[in-house]
Structure 1
Amino acid sequence: MLKVTDLTKRFGGFTAVNRVSFSLEKGEILGLIGPNGSGKSTTFNMIAGMLRPTSGSIEFDGREIGGLPPIEICHRGIGRTFQIPRPFRNLTILENVVTAAFFGQSGHVSRSKAHAQAEEALALVGLPTDPRAEVASLGAAGLKKLELARAIATQPRLLLADESLGGLDETEMNQAADMLDHIRREKDITIIWVEHIMGVLMRVVDRAIVLDHGEKIFEGLPREVAKDPKVIEIYLGTEKISFDEAPAT
């Protein structure tokens, strides 16, 4: 579904991402992890259209999308969430998601269809479909769910989930992780999940890619991550730990 080849991003003399390559199969959840400054967000934002690659290729369904604006990438079937939710607070919860359904899809979407898609997305993430429900009633976990609902309402085939666990307690983290897996199965959506909270992410991803200083240093199964010496050194610390003991933060 997605093929990234030698993806590179430079800001002046600083190379944030250096020749990163990977592929993504339909139906997968791929975890993209690494320490702060490793290039995760830059890679993510190039796929989403927020940043133009300096060089390299991003192919979605066999067509090059690198450098396209975010709206075109969204219309081609790639939705995204944001690390910091910024809903329209003067709109209701339902109106926020209806807006995403209207403008996040290519072609004409009728009012009735947009409402139906918005209600389906809200039900999928466990938020009220009551047209009177206000955004102000939502806590941190609810705002993360609203982000997911807005992305789902654009009818993506590929979802880019940006740190969906930030600000949540342990129970909410586990619920959010299970929700992403549920969305994958119910909507047949492929997912790339960028996340700092490694222990929770590893419960649901099929594969993981680890970046460090803009370069890919590991790609493999979740349980292999905590056994890789280089990953342990740069991400988990100097002592080898078991997967079940992987730190939550």
Structure 2
Amino acid sequence: MLTVSNLTKRFGGFTAVDHVSFSLEQGEILGLIGPNGSGKSTTFNLIAGTLAPTEGSISFLGQEIGGQRPMDVCHLGIGRTFQIPRPFKRLSILENVAVAAYYGQNGRVSRQQAWAQAEEALGLVNLPTDAKASVDGLGAAGLKKLELARALATQPKLLLADESLGGLDEQEMDQAADMLSMIRREKNITIIWVEHIMGVLMRVVDRVMVLDHGEKISEGLPREVASDPRVVEVYLGSERVEIAETGEARA
């Protein structure tokens, strides 16, 4: 579905992403991890069109998308969430998602279809579909769900989930992780998930890729990556991961 080859992004003399290559099969969940400043969000921004690559190629369903505008990338079938939700405060929850459904598909659906798709997306994330339900009543977990619903309403084939667990408590983290797994299963959406909270991510993803200082330092199954000495070194002092006999990751 997605092939990234020698992806590089430089800002002046600083290299944020350094010749990163990976591929993604349809239906996979790929976990993208690394310490702060490792290049995770920059990689997302390059795929989503927010930034143009300095070098390298990004191919989505056989089409080169590197350097295309974010709206065009979205219309091709790549949806994304953001670390910090920024809903339209004057719109209801349903209206926020309906706007994403309509404009995220380049007006290819009617307003009535956009409303229906918004209701479906809200149902997937367990948020109210009442047309009068206000954004103001949402806490951190609710805003993360709204962000996810807006991305899902664009009907993506590939979802870029950027730190969906930030600001959530342990129970909310588990619920959010289960939600991503359910969305993959029920909607057949391929997912790249950027996350700092390694323990929760590792029990959901199929594969893991690790960035450090813009370079890919490890890629493989969760158990393999968690035992990679370079990954342990990167996370030493902040977060260590132990893989239980069941294969579950624990932070």
* TM-score, normalised by the number of residues in structure 2: 0.95
Structure 2: distance between partners of 1:189 and 1:32:
17
Are 2:88 and 1:82 equivalent residues in the alignment?
A: no
The equivalent of 1:179 in structure 2 is 179
Structure 2: distance between partners of 1:21 and 1:241:
25
Does the CA-based 8 Å contact 2:79-2:152 persist in structure 1?
A: yes
Cα deviation 1:194-228 (Å, max 9, x = unaligned) = 01110000010000000011100000001112210
Matches within 5 A, 1:1-249: 1-237=1-237, 242-244=242-244, 248=251
Structure 2: distance between partners of 1:3 and 1:27:
14
Q: Residue 111 of structure 1: CA displacement?
A: 1.3
Q: Residue 55 of structure 1: CA displacement?
A: 0.4
Structure 2: distance between partners of 1:240 and 1:60:
34
Does the CA-based 8 Å contact 2:59-2:65 persist in structure 1?
A: yes
Structure 1: distance between partners of 2:243 and 2:42:
27
Cα deviation 1:174-208 (Å, max 9, x = unaligned) = 00000000000111100000011100000100000
Does the CA-based 8 Å contact 1:164-1:176 persist in structure 2?
A: yes
Cα deviation 1:13-41 (Å, max 9, x = unaligned) = 01111100000000000000001111111
What is the total number of aligned residue pairs between the two structures?
A: 248
Structure 2 SS opposite 1:233: helix
Does the CA-based 8 Å contact 1:227-1:240 persist in structure 2?
A: no
**Which letter maps to 1:99?**
V
What are structure 2's unaligned runs of at least 5 residues? none
Pair 164,143 (structure 1): closer, same or farther in 2 beyond 3 Å: same
Structure 2: distance between partners of 1:124 and 1:247:
27
Structure 1 SS opposite 2:113: helix
Task: Name the stretch that deviates more: 100-109 or 192-201.
Answer: 100-109
**Which letter maps to 1:160?**
L
Pair 173,35 (structure 1): closer, same or farther in 2 beyond 3 Å: same
Pair 107,238 (structure 1): closer, same or farther in 2 beyond 3 Å: closer
Structure 2: distance between partners of 1:238 and 1:165:
17
Pair 246,204 (structure 1): closer, same or farther in 2 beyond 3 Å: closer
Structure 2 SS opposite 1:26: coil
Does the CA-based 8 Å contact 2:91-2:135 persist in structure 1?
A: yes
Structure 2: distance between partners of 1:15 and 1:212:
12
* TM-score, normalised by the number of residues in structure 1: 0.96
Does the CA-based 8 Å contact 1:159-1:189 persist in structure 2?
A: yes
- What CA RMSD, in Å, does the superposition of the two structures yield over aligned residues? 1.6
Does the CA-based 8 Å contact 1:101-1:153 persist in structure 2?
A: yes
Does the CA-based 8 Å contact 1:236-1:246 persist in structure 2?
A: no
